[in-house]
Each structure stands twice: as structure tokens, then as C-alpha cells.
Copies of this chain bind each other. A is one copy, B any other.
């Protein structure tokens, strides 16, 4: 199955999930909310709230920052979007539906973000939850370092 078809299918599923979530919680189905969700799922990689706002603006959507933040929070609540802090005072977001759980490796020189999976994280979560009597619901693991050689140290410095 070609990639773009898969993407379209995911967008459709995601819109349905969001729609149900809004219904269930007696929240309104506004065009802004769906537009923001579509915009998020049309892009790859990580983004911050301002970048998303600018993208919406550039495509001539009439949205406000307030609505962007509000909708992002809704989407995080129903697990369609994940929120991260990569060591800066700036929240980063990424779509999460249809993507396997993963963690991040961040280059402190150029800001590049790589993703990886390791089953040992799940083991640690389970064990520590039992040991310390916590119901662990989610986690965040970031590895920081320097990427191989050709990394432009001047671009988008993270630290």
C-alpha cells in the first residue's frame, strides 16, 4: 500500500476519533479544531505552537493563537498529539496516532531530533511503578549529545 494512501487513511481515522471525543465530552465541533488537526497530520516532524499558528495563517485560515493552544491541549488529552520539552522553555508537539511509541535523541549543537524504540523502557516503567507505588501513565526519555561530524553547529542551537 503506497504511503500517501496510508496517510489519507490515518487522517480520516484521526478525524473520526477527534469527532467522537468532542461528542463524548460535549465539546463543539468547530471548523477551526478540525483544520488544526488536519494541518498537524499533514506535516511530519516536531513543531511548536507558534510554527503551527504561522502555518495556519499562511494557508489563510483565520485562527488565533488562543485557539491553537486550546486545540493542542484537547488533542493531547485524547492522545492524538504528544507534547515534549526538549530541554528548552518551548513545548514541542508531534502527531502520535498510528506511530509506534518512541523516545528521542537530540543534538545539542544543531537541534536535530532522532527517534528510537527500546523495550527496556517499558520494563523500567513497570518495575519502578510497582516498587515506588506509582501508577505510571506516561514517560519522557531524551538522550542529548552530538550528532556525527557534519552537524552545522551554528544552526538552531538547542542549548
Contact = CB atoms under 8 A, between A and B. Distances in A.
A145 B141 CA distance: 15
A55 B134 CA distance: 31
B140 A140 contact: yes
The 3 closest A-B CB pairs, nearest first, are A136-B145, A133-B148, A134-B145
Copies in the complex: 2
A122 B58 CA distance: 44
A91 B114 CA distance: 23
Contacts of A144: 136-140
A152 interface: no
Interface residues of A, number: 37
A105 interface: yes
24 contacts: A85-B85, A85-B87, A89-B91, A105-B128, A108-B137, A114-B134, A118-B124, A118-B127, A124-B141, A125-B143, A134-B147, A135-B145, A135-B146, A136-B144, A136-B145, A137-B144, A137-B146, A138-B144, A139-B141, A139-B143, A140-B140, A140-B141, A140-B142, A141-B142
B136 A139 contact: no
